Structure 1
């Protein structure tokens, strides 16, 4: 094979992410897909309630989590083997086709819950490969020094999707029922496909293989082809052990290699533990616990809405801060401090003396959680070898989307036994342990973001 080495672009030559048309096309695709997801979930919930009992509707809404949790690790392998852009494009195409098909069937007839359950299972199965690929994609569209800013932009996109998606879904239901809402969701997801096709992918960089396990060889030959067709996924890079091995190894070997890489990484291993603890402690209070707290305090649905708005506003401010600044010093220490301070705020939320105080506390929780989440995400992106990012993202996704939701029924049951205060404090303690993990890990505590 002729050696065709394409040197990576130096970070100094990179445009700021918010001025880079390539990044903005990726951001547009991501935003359209996320808004479509929000519309889809509202349409699914409405259609399930109309077709069955509340318990049956809840089962339809929950069934997608099973294939997502079971197949997520395999999805990370797929993303790394075939390239994140190809996987995201294929996943969005399948999701779009499935949702539009259900919309057409609902327009023509009333198939019942079985069709909705089938759609939910299909969506969860596709999500198992879609989500790890989404996590691996930012490192392939911009430089490492811009990944913190990209995490901020991604946070803004999520906030925008949460704010806009529900009203759009409600409008679709009002105009044409669940079928119209599903059709709208499919069209929004479809918007992402041509945008992703136009996104240019970078070659895998050669200077990010830090903290590799001792059993991964580093004396690799450099006479391999890098690059590939214009605008396509890059091929193996000079230092890319995982990419070179992927051509020969089985998917099972790739999975084991990825888990071994994570286990031996001095920054990523404790970082994933910290993320897991944060998610486990955060999901219950902010989903189930807040509803029960609002009911106990007499705030009502509108009061709960104000508290959630405070949280969303705080998270949006954190995302905007990182988008504008693009870098923060002492990322590991700042992440630990924001996790610890945020955990105190979560515990204090249950003891807020009034609705105004609760909204202010939720604003602080959102700001600190948004900051720590974005910093942890940026550290994950910059510390991981891009050749492993799909598998790294899949492990993080299993915790966030598989294990953390299990805390919701547990939180509800615990509040029934002991009340909101003790449960919120316990959840806050679990979150705080994530900050302790960061402080106790020297390499993670000293980790810096590139600039």
Structure 2
């Protein structure tokens, strides 16, 4: 993939280090994303406990995500990212040791989930703010495209490998926990991936380390300025609010529902969960490749495209409630992945063209907050709902709610106007 200047971002040494370390770390993350829900279900058998663990991880992430965006706008993103990934490496290593040592208890899982969520709140905005320091402006677009493709490939490869690894150790139990050997090894893989990422980050040298940016006022004032800037931009404000509603009503039920679907209704156990997540990641990879074609077809009617795609994705999610086959579930999740990949790439590109560079960290942290902060919070509610309603009813309700929200929002002029490339004025 070439930039406008005719060279690839991979020709830059520091970009190669960041890209290589992030690739290994992203694949490792998928091992924990598969293993952690499985561990909770094997310890408790309770969807409510699973929802509470996800919420415990999401609470600090939601509370500190906006602060993280302001911190990395003020300090060196590389140093913030180093500290965050070092903390994650320590926490995941401790979880692996507890599982393999047969000494893991739910209170420990809650504490570690809390710490992982807090570190992630700083890692995500730091990573997004670091890229412009490593490549010239002409290479930013292909560099972003490489990272998007890498993330989707990690979702394609990682969950399948994690499911196989956990399944291989399915007969190893420590401390009364079924599948403990496979689960512990999955956490070990993630911990080692963090170590690899730390080594690559330590080798990077960027100007921002010696001359961090100076912002007026304190961190909270910077956060407030970022929120005001987004609020003043009507189409951007409308999309962030829409994304928040979708995350609350749909994200949580899906996070709790998929592990429960694999555990109670599908035929391959943990491998089924890995296959479902892999299918979704593969679909998102295809969708990201199709996003350019989709953007050209819709022109400035990006808002209508997003709402139309979400209405179709809702129907596919509702159909999961009737699924008893891993193959059928994978097909449905691949479909939603394709649709989601198109939306993700086109929306991020629109925001990057619309928002002033000095506000990018805070704007992206606010967008990340809506997806990664609010969604898991609703998982606690979804887990409790499964005590009262069936799993098919949960999927049907979540999917039909997504379709209804998307269709009803088509009458909103602000959402329909998404697609204009106006650059928002900087604030704070």
Aligned partners of 1:114, 1:360: CA distance in 2, in Å? 37
Structure 2 match to 1:259: 227
Mapping for residues 300-311 of structure 1, pairs under 5 Å: 310-311=279-280
Structure 1 match to 2:193: 188
State the 1:421 CA deviation: 4.6
- Judge conservation of contact 2:100–2:181 (CA < 8 Å) in 1: no
Aligned partners of 2:40, 2:262: CA distance in 1, in Å? 26
Matched, 1:90 2:61: no
Find the residue that maps to 1:249 and give its secondary structure.
coil
- Judge conservation of contact 2:250–2:401 (CA < 8 Å) in 1: no
Structure 2 residue corresponding to 1:63, chosen from 21, 45, 56: 56
- Judge conservation of contact 2:353–2:422 (CA < 8 Å) in 1: no
Structure 1 match to 2:7: 15
After TM superposition, the score normalised by the length of structure 2 is 0.74
Structure 2 residue corresponding to 1:133, chosen from 119, 122, 126: 126
Mapping for residues 25-174 of structure 1, pairs under 5 Å: 25-45=17-37, 48=40, 54=46, 59-104=52-97, 110=103, 112-142=105-135, 143=137, 144-146=140-142, 149-150=145-146, 151-168=148-165
1:246-282 CA-to-partner distances (Å, cap 9, x unmatched) read 1x42112112122122222355323323433443454
Mapping for residues 32-431 of structure 1, pairs under 5 Å: 32-45=24-37, 48=40, 54=46, 59-104=52-97, 110=103, 112-142=105-135, 143=137, 144-146=140-142, 149-150=145-146, 151-168=148-165, 176=181, 178-199=183-204, 201=206, 228=207, 232-233=208-209, 235=211, 243-244=213-214, 246=215, 248-266=216-234, 268-280=236-248, 282-284=250-252, 286-288=254-256, 310-321=279-290, 328-329=295-296, 332-334=300-302, 336-347=304-315, 350=318, 361-408=332-379, 409-410=381-382, 412=385, 416=390, 419=393, 421=396, 423-431=398-406
State the 1:190 CA deviation: 0.9
Structure 2 match to 1:217: none
1:319-339 CA-to-partner distances (Å, cap 9, x unmatched) read 3446xx699546653464144
The 3 A distance-change label for structure 1 pair 43 and 407 is: closer
- Judge conservation of contact 1:263–1:269 (CA < 8 Å) in 2: yes
Aligned partners of 2:16, 2:356: CA distance in 1, in Å? 23
1:216-252 CA-to-partner distances (Å, cap 9, x unmatched) read xxxxxxxxxxxx4xxx44747xxxxxx44x1x42112
State the 1:417 CA deviation: 11
Computing the radius of gyration over CA atoms, which structure comes out larger, 1 or 2?
1
Structure 2 match to 1:239: none
The 3 A distance-change label for structure 1 pair 28 and 263 is: same
- Judge conservation of contact 2:58–2:377 (CA < 8 Å) in 1: no
Aligned partners of 1:417, 1:178: CA distance in 2, in Å? 25
Gaps of 5+ in 2: 173-179, 424-428
- Judge conservation of contact 1:39–1:168 (CA < 8 Å) in 2: no
After TM superposition, the score normalised by the length of structure 1 is 0.71
Aligned partners of 1:341, 1:334: CA distance in 2, in Å? 11
